[in-house]
């Protein structure tokens, strides 16, 4: 995998922030690499290193048809010169959507699983059958979260990042959040904005912290009230907000993760739940590749870059 680009920090200015005397800075992790961007770089880099160390010639992972993880794994494998197999939930639909088209163009072999089969993805017997079919492979779980991913996400916060009062990130599988709460300073609070509907995310985070023996060094909270109905759900208010934010700041947001997070942050500032005078660091975790497919299937016109 090639070196990353220097990470840009972009301060946001608007009347609400001025009124509340809040400084808000976006860490543009979406620009860390042209193909492998955002938190995915951190989650995958040590997995790729380990695959090479173990002498694997191919890796295998799971994801949905519009998965950021599938896209990023295809990019990482191409950069590392390793063959990749993507086990995709659902039936094949042609023409391929932009996510899967990129993955296949990058060299990933796409295989489709019924939803019943997909639910077996963590079963040792099922994985043994995949090894019989494909041969030896390095396994990366759905979403990419494992011990090596958490090791990578522990490196996200650095230098002046540790001076902010609040650190904000979107939450999917929780790997990035786990890494952040293990490295943030005691004076900081990490806010994770869940893209998923339901309280199960709290149990998932607790399990992750226990599994990886993470003892949070800071205060933290999972914010679950800005999911807009659940994973990949949206309404016109969210779409309008993403467009307005891009017009005013030049920063594109995706409707699955970062758009909901930024909307939620502003609502917490407006309500005073993020107190007056606070300094806030927002991690832009990427995911912009999904906008093109989102626009196509929902007849929206969100900006791509």
DSSP letter at 100 equals H
Question: CA angle, corner 226, sides to 220 and 230, nearest 5?
Answer: 110
Look at residue 2 in the predicted model and tell me its pLDDT. Answer: 54
Look at residue 206 in the predicted model and tell me its pLDDT. Answer: 93
CB 258, CB 284: distance < 8 Å: yes
Residue of 127, 8, 7 whose CA lies nearest to 61? 127
One domain, residues 80 and 63: yes
One domain, residues 206 and 228: yes
One domain, residues 209 and 126: no
pTM of the model: 0.94
| HSE-CB of 41 using CA atoms within 13 angstroms | 22
> Is 89 in a helix, a strand, or coil?
strand
Q: Of 113, 144, 175, at which residue does a domain stop?
A: 144
One domain, residues 22 and 137: no
Q: To which residue do tokens 């700041």 refer?
A: 249
> Is 237 in a helix, a strand, or coil?
helix
* Domain assignment of residue 52, given as a range: 39-144
CB 68, CB 74: distance < 8 Å: no
The count of structural domains within the chain is: 2
Strands 138-140 and 219-223, by their bridges, are unpaired
Look at residue 6 in the predicted model and tell me its pLDDT. Answer: 81
CB 212, CB 187: distance < 8 Å: no
One domain, residues 126 and 182: no
Does 303 map to a domain? no
Residue of 304, 227, 287, 237 whose CA lies nearest to 64? 287
* Maximum distance among all Cα pairs of the chain, rounded to whole angstroms: 62
Does 305 map to a domain? no
Look at residue 220 in the predicted model and tell me its pLDDT. Answer: 97
Which residues in the chain show pLDDT less than 70? 1-5
């Amino acid at each position: 995998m090639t070196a990353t680009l220097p990470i840009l920090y972009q301060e946001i200015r608007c009347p609400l922030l001025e009124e509340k005397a809040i400084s808000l800075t976006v860490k543009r992790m979406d620009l860390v690499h042209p193909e492998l961007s955002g938190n995915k770089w951190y989650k995958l880099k040590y997995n790729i290193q380990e695959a090479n160390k173990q002498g694997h010639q191919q890796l295998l992972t799971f994801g949905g048809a519009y998965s950021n993880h599938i896209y990023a794994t295809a990019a990482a494998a191409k950069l590392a010169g390793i063959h990749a197999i993507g086990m995709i939930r659902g039936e094949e639909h042609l023409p391929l959507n932009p996510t899967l088209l990129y993955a296949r163009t990058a060299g990933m072999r796409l295989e489709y699983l019924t939803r019943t089969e997909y639910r077996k993805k963590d079963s040792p017997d099922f994985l043994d059958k995949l090894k019989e079919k494909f041969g030896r492979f390095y396994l990366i779980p759905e979403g990419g979260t494992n011990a090596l991913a958490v090791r990578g996400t522990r490196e996200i916060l650095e230098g002046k990042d540790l001076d902010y009062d609040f650190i904000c990130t979107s939450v999917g599988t929780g790997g990035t959040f786990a890494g952040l709460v293990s490295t943030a300073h005691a004076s900081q609070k990490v806010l994770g904005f869940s893209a998923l509907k339901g309280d199960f995310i709290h149990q998932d985070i607790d399990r992750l912290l226990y599994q990886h023996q993470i003892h949070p060094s800071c205060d933290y909270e999972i914010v679950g009230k800005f999911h807009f109905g659940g994973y990949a759900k949206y309404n016109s208010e969210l779409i309008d907000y993403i467009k307005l934010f891009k017009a005013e700041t030049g920063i594109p947001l995706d409707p699955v993760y970062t758009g909901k997070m930024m909307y939620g942050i502003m609502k917490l500032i407006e309500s005073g739940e993020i107190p007056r005078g606070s300094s806030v660091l927002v991690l832009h975790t990427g995911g912009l590749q999904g906008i093109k497919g989102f626009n196509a299937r929902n007849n929206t016109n969100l900006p791509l870059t």
